């Protein structure tokens, strides 16, 4: 039999898929992978029921016109600059294919969402990470001098994610301005992964596109906004005139995202905006964040509160994800899964709180029981 090529041989199951699989096998509470336990909103499900049986054939690779228009209105961009993708994952993969090539370097922040590194490498480029640092007292800090120093003549693009998975860090206007100045000075593309744009706990995060529309690709996800991660509807808002090229690339891969689900998202976006759905989402998540954070602190963990996303990071040096799964029956993600080169404190974990209150309470009960038995 012929062999697989090296890139396939080095691919493996992601930590998120592995933790979800093991959690299901062991009956663990799954605070690992970032998907909500609750059903998506009724207005989204009803729109999908209307679309199935009506819009069942291929959509244009660039996206269903009604969804591009709805996204244009929602994001404040021209719908003609929007490409609908099969989740934000495909959006990021397309951008890697479109913007980098062999010999290029791509700057990104670390801890780093796991898909960015292989996507850059599959495009033949080299990912270069700049660490967010975790001083003892404060949250995660971005050292702008370190970011500037990482730019080389080979740097093609700067990839940001705010609100940031896994740290929950929301980049400030000053930080984004400095990033834009750097990108303009070195003529870099900006990729802004904003899938958690509606999930924040303080001030609304600023979209990078507002500061540099000429060079920013903004990535979003209906899965994250509308609590339907399995629907695989995402998007990219491109600088003017580039959407057709991205659509050209994706038509040879997935061709289009599921047509009826695109139609349902198109119908749901204005409802979500006008009905207070996002406000309700944030309120619900803020309450669950408080529940989990308080419970973890009571168990002696240091908690790093997120400014956005539905993840929090917590640290107890004697905890690790394998033991929590096997002995306590709670699945979490080790921070090391997001590390490229920076050292992270031992016992640093990412916990998803996009779960029902009862699941969070049960997870805390299990952790408390285990902590008591293991210290006895």
Ligand X SMILES: Cc1ncc(COP(=O)(O)O)c(C=O)c1O
**Min separation Cβ 126 and ligand X, Å:** 20
Is residue 30 near ligand X by the rule CB under 6 A? no
**Runs of H (alpha helix) within 206-356:** 222-225, 243-250, 259-275, 277-298, 321-323
Number of residues that bind ligand X (CB under 6 A): 13
**Min separation Cβ 112 and ligand X, Å:** 10
Binding mask 221-240 for ligand X (x = CB under 6 A): x-x-----x----x------
Q: Which helix (H) or strand (E) holds 216?
A: strand 216-221
Stretch that binds ligand X, among 83-91, 200-208, 345-353, 366-374 (CB under 6 A): 83-91
Stretch that binds ligand X, among 22-30, 51-59, 81-89, 277-285 (CB under 6 A): 81-89
Residues 136-195 that bind ligand X (CB under 6 A): 161, 165, 193, 195
Contact 208, 164 (CB under 8 A): no
**Min separation Cβ 6 and ligand X, Å:** 25
Contact 334, 15 (CB under 8 A): yes
Is residue 36 near ligand X by the rule CB under 6 A? no
Binding mask 97-116 for ligand X (x = CB under 6 A): ----------------x---
Member of 51, 64, 75, 88 binding ligand X (CB under 6 A): 88
Nearest to 319 by CA among 337, 301, 306: 301
Quote the CA–CA distance of 179 and 192 in Å, as a whole number.
11
Q: Which is nearer to ligand X, 34 or 258 (CB)?
A: 34
Contact 175, 160 (CB under 8 A): no
**Min separation Cβ 87 and ligand X, Å:** 3
**Min separation Cβ 372 and ligand X, Å:** 33
Backbone phi, psi, residue 218, to 5°? -105, 125
Nearest to 41 by CA among 231, 203, 256, 195: 231
Member of 87, 168, 258, 329 binding ligand X (CB under 6 A): 87
Pairs from 67-70 (Cβ < 8 Å, separation ≥ 24):
67/233, 67/235, 67/262, 67/263, 67/265, 67/266, 69/266, 70/265, 70/266, 70/267, 70/269, 70/270
Structural tokens at position 309? 């996303």
Interacting residues toward ligand X by CB under 6 A: 34, 87-89, 113, 161, 165, 193, 195, 221, 223, 229, 234
């Amino acid at each position: 039999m012929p062999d697989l090529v090296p890139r396939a041989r080095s691919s493996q199951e992601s930590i998120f898929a592995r933790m979800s699989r093991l959690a299901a096998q062991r009956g663990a509470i799954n605070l690992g992978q970032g998907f909500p336990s609750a059903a998506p909103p009724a207005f989204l499900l009803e729109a999908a029921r209307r679309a199935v049986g009506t819009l069942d054939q291929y959509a244009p690779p660039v996206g269903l016109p009604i969804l591009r228009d709805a996204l244009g209105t929602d994001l404040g961009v021209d719908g003609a600059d929007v490409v609908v993708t099969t989740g934000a994952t495909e959006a990021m993969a397309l951008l890697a294919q479109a913007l980098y090539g062999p010999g290029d370097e791509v700057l990104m922040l670390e801890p780093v969402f796991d898909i960015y590194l292989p996507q850059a490498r599959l495009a033949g480029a080299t990912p270069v990470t700049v660490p967010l640092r975790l001083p003892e007292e404060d949250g995660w800090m971005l050292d702008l001098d370190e970011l500037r120093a990482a730019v080389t003549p080979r740097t093609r693009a700067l990839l940001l994610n705010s609100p940031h998975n896994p740290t929950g860090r929301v980049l400030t206007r000053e930080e984004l301005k400095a990033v834009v100045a750097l990108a303009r000075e070195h003529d870099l593309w900006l990729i802004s992964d904003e899938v958690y744009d509606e999930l924040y706990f303080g001030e609304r995060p600023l979209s990078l596109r507002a500061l540099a529309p000429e060079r920013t690709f903004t990535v979003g996800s209906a899965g994250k906004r509308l609590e339907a991660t399995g629907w695989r509807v995402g998007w990219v808002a491109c600088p003017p005139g580039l959407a057709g090229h991205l659509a050209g690339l994706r038509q040879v891969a997935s061709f289009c995202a599921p047509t009826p689900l695109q139609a349902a998202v198109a119908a749901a976006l204005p409802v979500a905006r006008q009905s207070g759905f996002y406000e309700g989402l944030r309120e619900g998540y803020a309450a669950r964040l408080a529940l989990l954070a308080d419970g973890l602190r009571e168990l002696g963990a240091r908690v790093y509160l997120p400014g956005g996303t539905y993840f929090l990071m917590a640290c107890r040096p004697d905890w690790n994800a394998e033991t929590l799964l096997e002995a306590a029956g709670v699945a979490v993600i080790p921070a090391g899964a997001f590390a490229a080169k920076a050292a992270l404190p031992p016992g640093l974990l990412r916990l998803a709180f996009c779960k029902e209150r009862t699941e969070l309470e049960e997870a805390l009960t299990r952790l408390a029981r285990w902590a008591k038995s293991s210290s006895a």
